[in-house]
Structure 1
Amino acid sequence: MSDSITSTIAGSHVKNGVPAWHLTSYIAGQPITSQQLLKVHSPYDNRLVGTVTLAGKADATAAIEKALQGGTALSRYERFSILDKTRQLLVERKEAIAQIISAESGLAIREARYETGRAHDVLMFAAMECLKDDGQIFSCDISPTGKARKIFTQREPLSLAVCITPFNHPLNQVAHKIAPAIAAGTPVILKPSEKTPLTAIKLVELLYEAGLPKHMLSVLLGPTAEIAEPLVKDPRVDIVSFTGSVAVGKHIASTAGYKKVILELGGNDPLIVMEDADLDLAVNLAAEGAYRNSGQRCTAVKRILVHESIADTFIQKLVAKTKEYTCGDPANPETRVGTVIDEAAAIYLESVVEQAVAQGARVLIGGKRHGALLEPTVIVNVPRNAVMVVRESFGPLAPVLTFTDIDDAIRLSNSTDYGLSSGIVTNNMAYALRFIRELKVGTVNINEVPGYRIESSPFGGIKDSGLGIKEGVIEAIKCFTYVKTFSLPW
């Protein structure tokens, strides 16, 4: 292809072999017409990855009205069929979607491909739940004053959900909100991150193609004051499901009004390595947990707490392991760590490393920044009050702190404002049970990374990690419904 030739392929423009996607916001399946465009650039080389036609305040209002206007209610089988067809379409186009994920987020292509697999599971499990009925039956003649009646329960969809998703899993985070809502029969207005909107819109288009009635789903990108804030505050919205920062989440909680609010606000998850741990397993979990997805996961390993008696050996092994995590071009299949979301994020991460060093910490490997690339970094002698371990550091950092005994480990683990997940490396059942009982978190995984789960199991945290169960399609479906009871003579 010559430099002057540009071809158009399925909604994208390809110039010099590099696709640029030109997508749009949708109101109930109808593309928005606007002169306002959001430009999405690659964090790696700043090339234009795509554009999105932006919406305005009137479009937000129209999306609400279209959703509430409704249409024919979908049967359980119809909801199953739509989600399952979307799953099939995702499988057929998984490589193209992975390429979009990698291009707009800077994630290594291997991570993007892995994410398509996770989203497949979300759609599969959500479809399966459509075919189940979790209604209950209560006999009323079980007490001296009881009657010959039975009480039945059934779940009814909410009228309208607003879902706001982050940049770090541009496909899976969106699937985890939309698929359970559709399984419940609840219409959704999606507001994805402006940093990674292309993947979200492609998933919306797959759902339309799979036969989802258009009123069931809109996707809007635009200024916060014109889109997100009006949607969050509108009393016609029954539920707001948000994943993102603590500051924004708490603002939503204070302004949403009288409606359900589900918040996932991040984590500061520890990997705790006891003195009896299998060190090879511990090192592998530490590296995978800290470096996968460029460390940009709410459940990433953000603090590595190691018993002081084995710390030297563990650190030596971790440094050697870190050398395997090559950092570079996200499109290269050999790259294991791509960029963080943008250069500003990398600069911040670089600064928290420098602050820790100023407090006496030492960088043993990594720590160098090249634009939005930050090398996987092992840093030791980290003070317990360092910013990089007190707050959430969203990048490929592996800070190692030592503890003296299990009491110290539990105290150190619980010392932050977050309470999402944790991983424990031990073969001692007494240790494992104490951690399960005493850690103030939503998840405790023994001999696994903090983030381990399946897409149908409940996932959520406490404290500043959020409110409510955010993921796991079974619990999420419940969030998008209410319980109706009725009774009959029996």
Structure 2
Amino acid sequence: MQTVMPSGGRVSGLLVGAGWETGRGAQLLEVRAPYGGELLARIAESTPDEVDAAVTLAARTFARNELTPHERADILRRTSQLIAQRAEEFAHSVVAEAGKPLRDARAEVARAVLTFELCAQEATRLAGEVVPVEGTPGSENRRAFTIRRPAGVVCAITPFNGPVNQLSHKVPTAIAAGCTVVVKPAEVTPLSAIKVVQAMLDAGLPPGHVTVVQGRGETVGQQLLEDPRFAVYSFTGSTAVGAHIRRTVGLRKTLLELGNNSANIVHADADLGLAAKVLAKSSTAYAGQVCISAQRILVHEDVFEEFSALLADQVSALSVGDPSDEGTDVGPMISLDAARRAEQWVAQAIDDGAKLVCGGSRDGQFFVPTVVARPAAHSALACQEAFAPVAVLIAYRTLREAIDIANSTEYGLQAAVFTEGLDVAMAVARRLDVGGVIVNDASSYRVDSMPYGGVKHSGTGREGVRYAVEEMTESQLVVLNLRDPVGEGL
């Protein structure tokens, strides 16, 4: 299936049943390359009737419950193998529509290969536990255990900044759990999602287990939220949209991976060279459009100036340019508006007294990797999510002060601490109000088998294959009231 169409033709982006359709929607969504603005494709926004048909098919397919665990595992494993075979095609798709540098796009696809394999393994590992009710007086002849049952139809809404791997944390986990799933990819990056789902179909996934709709959040997304047939919503995106989802879907289960402004603490005893190297990469990877990027870097006052110089050297050495060039470190931002917002936030921080250490300039959708030091505590860079290639250096004198600063925002996804002291690392980790703490690596460290999710306004639930599969199932208790044929002489 051709998905990159320089002529601007339509792409078959709607999947309801056994084959792709161009859709009947009059509203055409243009998919443009962040680098150069080339028109890659036009995709018809799904009509209300098409969205309803997709959900109806997913619900009917779930009710049939036709795939056994080993069949699901076989399909997911074959999908992993197909993605590996098509890795370069997938990577170049991510480069084209998301503007992600080629090296990072290849790494994303490699992660997706592993994620599908992990999902295949988990499909055959769903298990409950024995519940010792016989220890309760009056229940001596009873035995109890739990089983895990698929929750139902899953709605997966994926973001632009990981069009392959973010989908791989939602769709195959739903299949592994025994659910069916309706996918709405981000309207600016639908082509990579189409490729992933096509690989699943090529691997033998029967029609109806995955359906795909296309469109904007305020139209197609809203219709999905209001459909009562969904049991689980899995969404990655902004805190504002996540809050809207919670208000709309009520008591139904939600897996929300939302905003963040990760704190990375560099203590006085840290390996400053290591910290500078990994934090320079973390704060600028994919132009900072990563929710666990190293945005706030809290540095002990005793080493502040030394670390500032080391970080500036690392950041200034990064290559900015064409994302399809193998030597590029930082590509364009996803939109001109996003780049302009980064420029405005940096300018405002400087007006409020911060020091520009390096960078700070914009050229169209490119924002030069930037380091800003000692911003005002109320500045947007210090307390909101920049989602841009900007690192903010904040000084502290005591660990208590560093912890208070780190916990001072509404977010709590992941954080990091650099120190040579185990006591320091554990003391900080116990007190940071976040979903994950990384020691001697950046807050952006993630592997796809680990639990991943936040607290506060950074979301609910956990991704990471085993954890997401569990989130998409329900625990059911079974109690057996048994006779004793031996004791009764039978």
Indicate the TM-score class for this superposition, using the shorter chain for normalisation.
Answer: over 0.9
What amino acid is aligned across from residue 95 of structure 1 in structure 2? E
Conserved 8 A contact 2:5-2:40: no
Deviation at 1:446, TM superposition (A): 0.8
1:484 maps to which of 476, 479, 484: 476
Paired residue for 2:488? none
Q: Output the CA distance in 1 between the equivalents of 2:428 and 2:218.
A: 43
Q: Quick check: 1:28–1:214 contact (8 Å CA) kept in 2?
A: yes
The code of the aligned residue for 1:204 comes to V
Q: Within 5 Å, give how 1:97-116 maps onto structure 2.
A: 97-116=90-109
1:41 corresponds in structure 2 to 32
CA RMSD of aligned residues (A): 1.7
What SS class does the counterpart of residue 276 from structure 1 fall into? coil
Residue 144 of structure 2 is matched in structure 1 by 151
Partners of 2:393 and 2:9 in 1: CA distance: 41
Q: Which residue does the alignment assign to 2:17?
A: 28
The Cα of 1:386 is off from its aligned counterpart by 1.2
Residue pair 2:30, 2:188 contacting (<8 A) in 1 also: no
Q: What is residue 424 of structure 2 aligned with on the other side?
A: 431
Q: Using the TM superposition, give the Cα deviation of residue 294 of structure 1 relative to its aligned residue in structure 2, in angstroms.
A: 1.4
1:416 alignment partner, one of 409, 413, 438:
409
- 2:396 aligns to what? 403
Q: Structure 1 stretches of 5 or more lacking a match?
A: 1-9
Aligned partner (choices 341, 353, 373) of residue 334 of structure 2: 341
TM, length-normalised to structure 1:
0.94
2:159 alignment partner, SS class: coil
CA distance in 1, matches of 2:8, 2:390: 32
Tell me by how many angstroms 1:23 deviates. 3.4
Q: Are 2:383 and 1:390 aligned?
A: yes
Cα pair 1:380 1:399 within 8 Å, conserved = yes
Shift of 1:477: 0.6
Q: Which residue of 2 aligns with 1:238?
A: 231
Query: Partners of 1:14 and 1:194 in 2: how far apart?
Result: 16
Q: Which moved more, 1:319-328 or 1:401-410?
A: 319-328
- Is 1:289 the counterpart of 2:278? The answer is no
User: Residue 451 and residue 141 in structure 1: after superposition, are their counterparts in 2 closer, same or farther (change >3 A)?
Assistant: same
> CA offset at residue 35 of structure 1?
5.3
Q: Which residue of 1 aligns with 2:446?
A: 453
From 465, 470, 476, the equivalent of 1:473 is 465
One-letter code aligned to 2:134: D
Distance (Å, rounded) in 1 between the aligned partners of 2:447 and 2:478:
34
Q: Where do residues 42-57 of structure 1 align in structure 2 (5 Å cutoff)?
A: 42-57=33-48
Q: Which moved more, 1:138-147 or 1:243-252?
A: 138-147
Distance 2:286 2:228 in 1: 37
Judged with a 3 Å threshold, the aligned counterparts in structure 2 of structure 1 residues 57 and 126 are, in CA distance, closer, same or farther, namely: same
Question: What pairs up with 1:16-415 in 2 under 5 angstroms?
Answer: 22-32=11-21, 33-34=23-24, 36=26, 37-70=28-61, 71-415=64-408
Question: Residues of 2 paired with 1:384 and 1:435: CA distance?
Answer: 21
SS at match of 1:77: helix
- Selected match of 2:2 from 7, 11, 30: 11
One-letter amino acid of the structure 2 residue matched with residue 423 of structure 1 = A
CA distance in 1, matches of 2:239, 2:195: 28
Q: 2:319 is matched by which residue type in structure 1?
A: T
User: Which range is displaced more, 366-375 or 128-137?
Assistant: 128-137
Shift of 1:223: 4.0
The aligned amino acid for 1:55 is S
CA contact (8 A) 2:403 2:431 kept: yes
Following superposition, the deviation at residue 454 of structure 1 comes to 2.0
Q: After the TM superposition, which of the residue ranges 43-52 and 410-419 deviates more from structure 2?
A: 43-52
Q: Deviations over 1:326-366 (max 9, x none)?
A: 11111111100011111110000000000001011122221
Mapped partners of 2:214, 2:223: distance in 1: 13
Alignment deviations for residues 291-328 of structure 1 (CA, whole Å, 9 cap, x no partner): 11211111111101100000111011111111221111
Query: Residues 242, 13 of structure 1: CA spacing in aligned structure 2 closer, same or farther, 3 A cutoff?
Result: closer
Instruction: Please give the secondary structure, in 1, of the residue aligned with 2:469.
Output: helix
User: TM-score scaled by structure 2?
Assistant: 0.94
CA deviation after TM superposition for structure 1 residue 13, in Å? 6.0
Q: How many residues align?
A: 478
More displaced, 55-64 or 220-229? 220-229
Please identify, of 445-454 and 204-213, the stretch whose mean Cα deviation from structure 2 is larger: 445-454
Large movers: runs of 4+ above 6 Å: 18-21
Q: How far apart are the structure 1 equivalents of 2:107 and 2:285?
A: 11
Distance (whole Å) between structure 2 residues aligned to residue 363 and residue 200 of structure 1:
39
8 Å Cα contact 2:232-2:252 kept in structure 1: yes
Q: Contact 1:13 / 1:20 at 8 angstroms: preserved in 2?
A: no
Q: Distance in 1 between matches of 2:350 and 2:18?
A: 52
2: distance between equivalents of 1:319 and 1:29? Answer: 53
> In 1, Cα distance between the equivalents of 2:247 and 2:274?
43
Query: What percentage of residue pairs aligned between the two structures are identical?
Result: 36
For 2:415 and 2:338, the matched residues in 1 are separated by 24
